[in-house]
Amino acid sequence: MSDHTVNVLVSLAALAAALFAGLAFFETRKAAEAAMRSSNAIRQAADQERQLLEISRESATASHHARTIELLFAIDQQLASYDALNTALASAGQRDDPMAKLGPDEERQLIRYMGFFERIDIMIENGLLPVDVVRSFYTTRLLRLAHHPELIGPILSRDGRAAWSHFYDLCAKVEVPLPNEE
């Protein structure tokens, strides 16, 4: 084999190596571009997922607020059945006091009214109502009850603190002092 043939073969081998290197470079470049597109797609998907999570959080918050408002309306509707009692408590101690002596019917009504507030405490404990909302809307009614230890004191004493634990807890949460147990 002549030098010329060897040189041609070496040149052909170098050319083939360069050709394969070029092909490998283009394939590597294609793979890198595909990886870049994939990375961008993953980044876009992650951004979309974050946006969906934020929308979901906002929706959950709006839904929670709507449930709270619906619950407040339902509470107000139920409290309307106690308006006469609430008015009597507001005027108690005045001349012609309608609450001077409780008959059995009035006492049952008073017990149901106090029990209603226990349900509100359970709603707070279960995260359905915020304490500040309850404090804002219902403290006056609780204060009217608390200002009549002669009415609620015997009920609380007779049944004991354990029986009225949610009533006591609610009053503590909204800072309404209750008469001491006897």
Q: What is the pLDDT of residues 53-105, one digit of tens each?
A: 888 888 878 888 899 999 999 999 999 999 999 988 887 665 455 555 667 88
Within 8 A by CB and 6+ apart from 176, the residues are 139, 142, 143, 146
- For 104-145, how does the pLDDT look when each residue is reduced to its tens digit (9 = 90+)? 888 899 999 999 999 999 999 999 999 999 999 999 999 999
Extract the tokens encoding 156. 């609380």
Tell me, yes or no, whether 44 lies in a domain: yes
Tell me, yes or no, whether 179 lies in a domain: no
Extract the tokens encoding 132. 């500040």
Query: How many independent structural domains does the chain possess?
Result: 1
Please state, in angstroms and as integers, the Cα–Cα distance from residue 144 to each residue in 8, 18, 55, 139, 168, following that order. 110, 96, 43, 9, 15
pTM, two decimals, is 0.67
Higher pLDDT, 100 or 165: 165
Indicate if the alpha-carbon torsion angle 65, 67, 71, 73 is positive or negative: positive
Tell me, yes or no, whether 181 lies in a domain: no
Tell me, yes or no, whether 143 lies in a domain: yes
Indicate if the alpha-carbon torsion angle 101, 98, 141, 105 is positive or negative: positive
pLDDT of residue 128: 92
Question: Rounded CA gap, 168 and 145, in Å?
Answer: 12
Q: Which domain holds residue 136?
A: 3-173
- pLDDT band at residue 168 under the 50/70/90 scheme: very high
Tell me, yes or no, whether 131 lies in a domain: yes
Tokens 């409780």 — which residue?
102
179 torsion bin: left (phi>0), alpha (psi -120 to 50), beta (else): beta
Question: Rounded CA gap, 92 and 100, in Å?
Answer: 7
Please state, in angstroms and as integers, the Cα–Cα distance from residue 59 to each residue in 41, 46, 54, 62, 126, following that order. 26, 20, 8, 5, 20
181 torsion bin: left (phi>0), alpha (psi -120 to 50), beta (else): beta
